[in-house]
Amino acid sequence: MKAVRTDRELECPGIDAGLRARGVELVTLPDGIPEADLIAAVADADLILMCYTPITARVIDAATKLKGIVKYGVGIDAIDILAAMRRGIPVVNIPEYAEESVAEGALALMIALAKRLPAITAAVSRDGWIWPEQRWLGRDISGATLGLVGCGKIGRSMARMAGQGFRARVLGFDPNVDAAAMRQAGIEKVENLQSMLHVCDFVSIHCVLNEATRGLIGRAELARMKPSAILINVSRGALIDETALVEAVVEKRIGGVGLDVYSQEPLATLGHPMSALFGRDNVILFPHLTFYTVEAMRRLEEDTLARCFEILDGRPVTIRSLDPRLRAQTAGVVFG
């Protein structure tokens, strides 16, 4: 058996060791590998493991022995699932490993910006001390209004932390979650996104990327936000019109931004669409690492190996995600 794991920059020693212990020939490939080189590597592969690298129809069709594709992570928008389904090749992700971890990361970004930690710590590092001048005033989360764009498991975890933990009022926009389910999670359902944005002190994005949600937060939505509002995104970069976001920050039409995800990764201080946001004291640019904790990585490695072994053993692979793109599969899968 041969497995190809892309994006080896994301170190997963447990996955690599587990596969090799089963006698699997493992090839690891770097992020950004050209499609032609990936095609050559998977030509005789039984299994593809990916995190960020696009698995296109050409890649899938070139892998004549392929038995399955495992996304060791959550988002599946980089995989041509229809191409895999045409060949009866199951696609599976690991949807539950970092729900609390990512919600904690989003909350940490929100707290840091509310308390002006980037600005204050930079000033203290530079000058040794600062005094309580108006420019250093932070803000309380208690009594503020948090708007959630997407109220799935991560969004609901964020709601619990901010609502029960900090006594914030929590609003939610999600056409796929009914008012009763939101109410049980401590969220007030809002039917209109722009109306919600207009009253929020903090906005945190927690939805999947698909054609319906791409660019969901655009110029019109940013214009509806308070000039003091703080926007957090730990989901997918393309959920936001990033050009419009950069303009809103540079023109001081938004209070602050905490980002962990970007349409184009990795970031760069120069020559990147988001480069203008570097060095701003109301911006935190996190390198797609809110998921990266000891506990989450242990869960990720264990669940990934379980899915890999199901595929390599010829058993149906367990799909735990509720994403309809994965639930539409009929070959080689079982729904858990």
Q: How far is CA 16 from CA 27, 29, 73, 92, in A?
A: 9, 12, 15, 18
DSSP state of 114: H
Whether 288 is catalytic is: yes
Q: Please name which of 252, 298, 313, 307 lies closest in space to residue 277, comparing C-alpha atoms.
A: 252
**Catalytic residue check, 236:** yes
The catalytic position among 116, 156, 236, 307 is 236
Let me know: does 259 contact 239? Beta carbons within 8 Å. Answer: no
Residue with tokens 């490993």: 97
Helices (H), 225-293: 242-250
Q: Helix, strand, or coil here: 321?
A: coil
Q: Which of 265, 272, 280, 302 is catalytic?
A: 265
Six-digit token string for 289: 């690492």
Q: Is 157 left (phi over 0), alpha (psi -120 to 50) or beta?
A: alpha
Query: Is 185 in contact with 160 (CB distance < 8 Å)?
Result: yes
- Please enumerate, as own/partner, the contacts of 213-221 that have beta carbons within 8 Å and a separation of 24 or more: 213/239, 214/238, 214/239, 215/239, 215/240, 215/241, 216/149, 216/240, 217/149, 217/241, 217/245, 218/244, 219/244, 220/194, 221/193, 221/194, 221/197
Q: Is 324 helix (H, G, I), strand (E, B) or coil?
A: helix
Q: Is 265 a catalytic residue?
A: yes
5, 116, 206, 288: the catalytic one is 288
Side chain identity, residue 65: K
User: Do 119 and 282 contact (CB within 8 A), yes or no?
Assistant: yes
Taking each helix axis as running N to C, give the angle between helix 153-160 and helix 99-114, from 0 to 180 degrees, rounded to the nearest 10. 50
Helix (H, G, I), strand (E, B) or coil at 21: helix
Both tokens assigned to 126 = 């530079």
**Residues with catalytic annotation?**
236, 265, 288
